[in-house]
Amino acid sequence: MGEIALLGLEFYGRHGVRPEEGRLGARFVVDLWLRVPFEGRGDRLEETVDYAAVYALVEEVVRHRRFYLIEALADHLAEALLQAFPRLEGVRVRVHKPHAPIPGVFRDVYAETEKVRS
């Protein structure tokens, strides 16, 4: 099973439980690991997953939907990717919220989920 990684996809979104997070928004970073059976399949786009289409789907969700929890955003992205791309056997999604409203010093906060096609 092959794996394709798209790392560090950055978007401005309005996710969070606090009203100001919905009003002001913040930067979110998404990492994806896509399990695709591409070995021995040839050298055509139809044999894998179109990265540009994956990026467009993630951008649409992160920029234009609102989630209170990054956990829910990660789960939704995983489901949407599996539904939109039948060649995917599985997906791991990590959503970072580097500017989470936490009173203290921290490097990163993220939620991660992994789903496989049933």
Residue keyed to tokens 């070995």: 39
Dist. CA 114–CA 94, nearest whole Å: 9
Residue keyed to tokens 């789907």: 57
Residue 61 near residue 81, CB atoms below 8 Å: no
Would residue 40 be called left, alpha or beta, if left means φ above 0 and alpha means ψ between -120 and 50 degrees? left
39 or 85, which is more confident? 85
pLDDT of residue 15: 94
Confidence class of residue 7 from pLDDT cuts 50, 70 and 90? very high
Strands 90-96 and 110-116: antiparallel
Which residues are catalytic, by number? 97
8 or 118, which is more confident? 8
Confidence class of residue 101 from pLDDT cuts 50, 70 and 90? confident
